[in-house]
Structure 1
Amino acid sequence: MTRRKKLSMLVVAITTAGATALFPATAQADDEEQPTTRELLEQCNNGTDKCVFHPSGAPVDSMGEPHQVGDSAFNCTKDLQRSAVSWSDTTGESNTVGVSMNAQYGFTELFNVTIQTSYKHSWQSSHTEQHQTNVEVKPGEVGWITREAAMEEIQGTYEMHFEDKFYGHHIWYVPFTAKGPKADAPSTKTQHTRKMTKKEKKEHCG
């Protein structure tokens, strides 16, 4: 009789052609003990005979979520007002294991070298932009600025070979995705206005 299996949020290994591919949120047998993605990646060049990162294709460009930068500008006068909104905004990265790719791990150093070699540019874990943006606000209205950062996403697979079996296997393939800011690409800035609420008029205009 087939043993019952339960769903687990831990990553598990699936044996394929003598190697092992790692996938998240797969059914796991009750008596199987499997490494997490981070446990595996921390072995890269720190317990492996071979560790290689294979990008699955060119970086995919996108824009980040729009969010307000700087303060809101309230126009309590009877004339059209042009306000210069000064702002500073930092965009960070995200990836499969939630570790900065600037951290000193074998798999992060390998990732950065591979990106530089494959795409001729450096990976950016963080980028800060400072600017002053004008917004025209009509009488009785409030204006604000939103920004969308230019981003790039890289997907690939770490191929890891062990002399001694690691969790029962000599070879592991670990899928990995990282998304970070493109420092050399312009962000999108948008001006917005709307009528002030009664509460805002009372708080900002007296």
Structure 2
Amino acid sequence: MSIMSTRATILAALALAISASLTTLTGVASANHAGQPTRQQLMNKCAGADYCEFKPQGGMQVFGGPNMLAGSSTNCTNFNQTRVIRWESTSGTTNTFGVEISAGVTLGEIFELSIKSSFQREWSWTDTKADEIRQDVGKKSRVDIYAQKQQTRVDGQWEIHFGSRYYGHYYWFVNGSVTGQTKGQPWHTTARQVKANC
């Protein structure tokens, strides 16, 4: 056997060994494969693992949240009226990881630090806004006030390292997203007048 052939055989063997080693060390969470932990099982283990970090993928995605009914006023008289309508609405935080990620829990604290480090922004788990609007209400009509919060979604990956193998692997990765808001994002209100049931 030539020197070149021997060298090629050794390199191929090393490549296979490295590949096999990586296969036993890493894994990607999937609830669709038998014999693998669910996303929720991994996330429940994350806070107590040797290493548990959230790593954003891409930038923050900013968009208008849903329009939520926040207040209303009904005028059942035969005259137009000007009303002062009080409204209040709350926007929270949701995620696709299947566990609680919020203020006061370890995963929430890890997420907050990651957002601050990656984007220099402060995450707000909930935001409540209350205000008053001076609004004309037509006769036999009702005015509904809808509030919309500007929201942010962050896609990312939780990286989890275990000191001993968990379902055959030391390293696991869980992909998903968190949707809520950073501090200072604005609210928008819309008034809609409809016929009242007087």
Q: TM-score, normalised by structure 2?
A: 0.80
Q: Which has the higher contact order (CA 8 A, sep 6+)?
A: 2
Q: TM-score, normalised by structure 1?
A: 0.77
2:53 & 2:156 partners in 1: Cα distance? 10
Find the residue that maps to 1:149 and give its secondary structure. Answer: strand
Query: What corresponds to 2:189 in structure 1?
Result: 189
Aligned sequence identity (%) = 25
| Bigger-Rg structure (1/2) | 2
Deviations 1:118-155 (A, max 9, x none): 11121111111011012211112111101111110011
Find the residue that maps to 2:37 and give its secondary structure. Answer: coil
1:100 touches 1:125 (CA, 8 Å); kept in 2? no
Query: What corresponds to 2:10 in structure 1?
Result: none
1:164 & 1:100 partners in 2: Cα distance? 25
Instruction: Report the CA distance shift for 1:45/1:65 in structure 2 as closer, same or farther (over 3 A).
Output: closer
RMSD: 2.1
Is the helix fraction higher in 1 or 2?
2
Ranges in structure 1 where 5+ consecutive residues have no aligned partner: 1-14, 202-206
Query: What corresponds to 1:102 in structure 2?
Result: 103
Does residue 118 of structure 2 align to residue 111 of structure 1?
A: no
Ranges in structure 2 where 5+ consecutive residues have no aligned partner: 1-19
Q: Give the 4+ runs in structure 1 shifted more than 6 A.
A: none
2:60 & 2:148 partners in 1: Cα distance? 18
Does residue 180 of structure 2 align to residue 173 of structure 1?
A: no
Find the residue that maps to 1:57 and give its secondary structure. Answer: coil
Equivalence map 1:1-206=2 (5 Å): 18=23, 19-24=26-31, 26=32, 28-29=33-34, 32=35, 34-48=36-50, 50-70=51-71, 72-96=72-96, 97-105=98-106, 107-196=107-196, 200-201=197-198
